[in-house]
Amino acid sequence: MIATEDGVVRALKLLSSGKPIFIHDSSSREDEVDMVYHAGFIDFRKIALLRRLAGGLICFSMPKNIGEALGLRYMSDILRDVGYTELTGRTLRYGDPPNFSLWVNHRNALTGIRDTDRALTIRELDNIVKLVVDGRVGEARRKFINEFVAPGHVPILLGRGLRVRKGHTELSLALAELAGMRPSMVITEVLDEGGAMPVSKVKELASKLGTVVIEGDEIIREWEKRMNS
């Protein structure tokens, strides 16, 4: 199933029912596709699917403002504070600053890397986002400090918003906003041997899974239309 004119609508329905979708950012940016789930639906089977079919880094995404409510900072800022300015002063060729914050495990994980462990960590991070969205920020901060270990195996990404950055983090969080879902997403790059999987090949994979490949520009247009309405 390939995204058409109603691709965003179909993507929102799929996400809302716990299905994966695929997002291609832009041929002028990373030119990569990410496999995306809403974090509220994550279980160990979905982590295994991300690992086998996508193969990139399995990341948890939340907006910057929610991260700041929890006391989180960008890892680049933390590293600058401890003297790694030269390393953090460079960006990769696509030009955007990285969204990485802390890498964490839930304290009840065994090793942190297993499918069950990463699913547990992501589900509990999603619960923390829910607390913040519900206005229970103090409870969310206590839960985060008491129940998580860093460094760990799940990287937290803090989305900067589509007005600032148009990467997979921001695109996936914009879809959550459009769907009326809490901003809590899981994204993983789809890799092929030696590089990123071509969009044409990802479309074949999406068809087998009964889902869509959506272009970043489609998400941006729909988000801007709704924000301006």
Q: Where are the alpha helices (DSSP H) in 2-159?
A: 7-16, 44-49, 64-69, 75-81, 85-88, 115-133, 137-147
Told to judge if 59 belongs to the known catalytic residues of this protein, a careful annotator would answer yes
Distance (Å, whole) CA 3 – CA 101: 32
Distance (Å, whole) CA 77 – CA 99: 11
Of 25, 37, 38, 59, which residue is the catalytic one?
59
Structure tokens at 58: 């399995």
Distance (Å, whole) CA 192 – CA 87: 28
Told to judge if 74 belongs to the known catalytic residues of this protein, a careful annotator would answer no
Of 68, 77, 94, 224, which residue is the catalytic one?
94
Told to judge if 34 belongs to the known catalytic residues of this protein, a careful annotator would answer yes
Told to judge if 168 belongs to the known catalytic residues of this protein, a careful annotator would answer no
Of 30, 32, 105, 222, which residue is the catalytic one?
105
Told to judge if 25 belongs to the known catalytic residues of this protein, a careful annotator would answer no
Of 96, 147, 153, 177, which residue is the catalytic one?
153
Told to judge if 96 belongs to the known catalytic residues of this protein, a careful annotator would answer no
Of 25, 117, 126, 189, which residue is the catalytic one?
189
Judge whether 97 and 76 are in contact, CB under 8 Å. yes
Distance (Å, whole) CA 183 – CA 36: 13
How far CA 159 is from CA of 21, 56, 84, 148, 211, in Å, comes to 19, 18, 23, 21, 24
Of 34, 117, 215, 218, which residue is the catalytic one?
34
Other residues' Cβ atoms within 10 Å of the Cβ of residue 229: 5
Q: Which residues are catalytic?
A: 34, 59, 94, 105, 153, 189
